[in-house]
Amino acid sequence: MNISGFILGVILILSVYGGVNYYIGRGLFQWLSLLFPYINARVYAGIYLFFALSLILGFLPLSASLKKIMSWIGAHWMGVFIYLFLFFMVADLVIVLGSILKVIPRPIPQNIRFYAGLLVILLTAGLVSYGLYNANQIKYVSYAVQTKDTTLAADMNIVLISDLHLGAVNSERNLEHIVQGINQLEPDLVCLAGDIFNDDYHALRNPSAAIELFKSIKATYGVYACLGNHDGGKTFNEMMGFLEQSNIKLLNDEYAIIDERLVLIGRLDSSPIGGFGELKRKDMTETIASLPTNIPVVVMDHTPSNLDQYGPEIDLVLAGHTHRGQIFPGSLFTNALFVVDYGHYQKDADSPHVIVTSGAGTWGMPMRIGTHSEIVSILLR
């Protein structure tokens, strides 16, 4: 993208964000004015502006401590912002339709506006509170997958996680529970299907503690990973060093043969944010064609938008990325964008099985509404 296009894009995004904030801020002020008739408009505007700008300030080159504070506030504000906008839109639409149908008198009575605003506040507060709680609850999901014409000497228990987003709000606090959950499943193999980091390695609060937690994972054949779209950028080398210290075997368009029983391929993500240094996603057609044909082939590919690249020679594709929309109505968009945005899928008998996880962590707002943070166990038969 050229500079002028980038600037126009930024201006457009800020204009939309500013317009929506004006709509929300005006609606909140009108409701508060009914409750507190003498509210100071300037004080209110200053407080609201602080929260609205927290999303932007968290991306600016501030001091590390201030950046973390603004990122924390901005992450929570993101969820509040989304639901205030949605509920104010619904409330205003109901009031307008009610007045057109003459169910609500004109001019609109103040008590109707007051209770509509109160309902918006209560619904937003309730959903955000639930979302914060629910994001920290780990759900266990299991699948059984039968290999095709290949031979598996014995069943293999694979544990799949993705989208940890280390460096995001609450990510490191939840990592200990995730590792404990993995170990309880006694896996043969652990697969990390991308987005281990959240764009910036330096956002991690305690990398040493996270490394020790990863090293404590107990799996017969170890822990393997592929890179997701957030696992790149300026701190890519530091991320690679972290994974090496954590005893996580990274597959960058490479494969490993697991105990002569399974071929595991890890793909580079097709759209990395900031890039993977000198690494570029390769065409793996020839490599896949040259693999042993007598044992199952499993592929880790972070984003489930490349499924057409895998044919009958692949038994199973493991992906993440979508978060299943993370908060409602996000699932409506991911379901429309991807052939499969969550769960198990197989196009036909000759196609590989596909399992897409909603992820073990969160991106942006530390909330989940209508989705779960999860650890997936797969019995490969």
Cα distances (Å, whole numbers) of residue 116 to 29, 45, 89, 125, 126: 13, 22, 11, 14, 15
Crossing angle of helices 3-35 and 64-100, rounded to 10°: 60
pLDDT given at position 151: 67
Q: Show me where the domains of the chain are located.
A: 3-134, 140-380
What's the CA gap between 247 and 229, in Å, rounded?
A: 21
Burial of 252 (0-12, 13-18, 19+ CB in 10 A): middle
Q: Cβ–Cβ contacts within 10 Å for residue 380, how many?
A: 23
- Please tell me the pTM assigned to this model: 0.92
- Looking at the DSSP bridge assignments, the partners of residue 141 are 376
| Domain 140-380: top CATH class | alpha beta
Question: pLDDT value at position 3?
Answer: 81
Please provide the DSSP assignment of 127-187 as one string. Answer: HHHHHHHHTTPEEEEEEEE--SSS--SS-EEEEEE----BTBTTHHHHHHHHHHHHHHT--
With contact defined as beta carbons under 8 Å apart, do 339 and 346 qualify? no
- Digits of tens for pLDDT over the chain (381 positions)? 578 887 888 899 999 999 999 999 999 999 999 999 999 999 999 999 999 999 888 777 778 788 889 999 999 999 999 999 999 999 999 999 999 998 999 889 999 999 999 999 999 999 999 999 999 999 999 999 998 866 677 899 999 999 999 999 999 999 999 999 999 999 999 999 999 999 999 999 999 999 999 999 999 999 999 999 999 999 999 999 999 999 999 999 999 999 989 999 999 999 999 999 999 999 998 888 888 888 999 999 999 999 999 999 999 999 999 999 999 999 999 999 999 999 999 999 989 999 999 999 999 999 999 999 999 999 999
- Whether the CB-CB separation of 161 and 267 falls below 8 Å is answered with no
